[in-house]
Amino acid sequence: MNAVADPKPSVWIVDDDRGVRLVLGAALREAGFAPREFGSAEDALAALADETPALLYTDVSRDGTELGPNVESTAALALAAGVPVLASGGVGTVDDLVRLAAVPGVLGTVVGRALYTGAISLRDALVAVKTA
């Protein structure tokens, strides 16, 4: 554990694509998180001795589809990992956000394409998860 706690929640990004890590890292910093970036799972696992991260879970089979997130897998990961999980992939409606907000251990959700296409407005999303 770190001797001095970081006031921002730490989120680890593990991806072999440096561009993905840079984009996600910038977005997470803007949202108030303290991201750490790793190019491999091995590097991330080696760093686990220092701190317990939140996990960013992206279901790549649903990413960008707006067909709905994999709530079941996200819930199973959150339960098994015992650390907060950020869900990503498939979000297409405000109801998707509400369902994920109800899952114990889910810290938040990454919404990408649905905001870009206008399927979800940021205002509606924020109102929905605050009242969920």
Domains within the chain, CATH numbers bracketed: 10-131 (3.20.20.70)
User: For 13-55, how does the pLDDT look when each residue is reduced to its tens digit (9 = 90+)?
Assistant: 888 889 989 998 998 888 888 898 999 888 888 887 777 677 8
Task: Give the separation between CA 91 and CA 103, rounded to whole angstroms.
Answer: 15
Q: Partners of 54 in the beta sheet?
A: 11
pLDDT band at residue 75 using 50, 70 and 90 as cut-offs: very high
Query: What one-character DSSP code corresponds to residue 132?
Result: -
Task: Give the separation between CA 49 and CA 69, rounded to whole angstroms.
Answer: 31
Query: Are the C-beta atoms of residues 42 and 95 closer than 8 Å to each other?
Result: no
For the chain, give the percent of residues with pLDDT over 70: 94
CB-count exposure of residue 112 (10 Å: 0-12, 13-18, 19+): middle
Q: Partners of 88 in the beta sheet?
A: 58, 110
Task: Give the separation between CA 63 and CA 35, rounded to whole angstroms.
Answer: 21
Query: Are the C-beta atoms of residues 67 and 92 closer than 8 Å to each other?
Result: yes
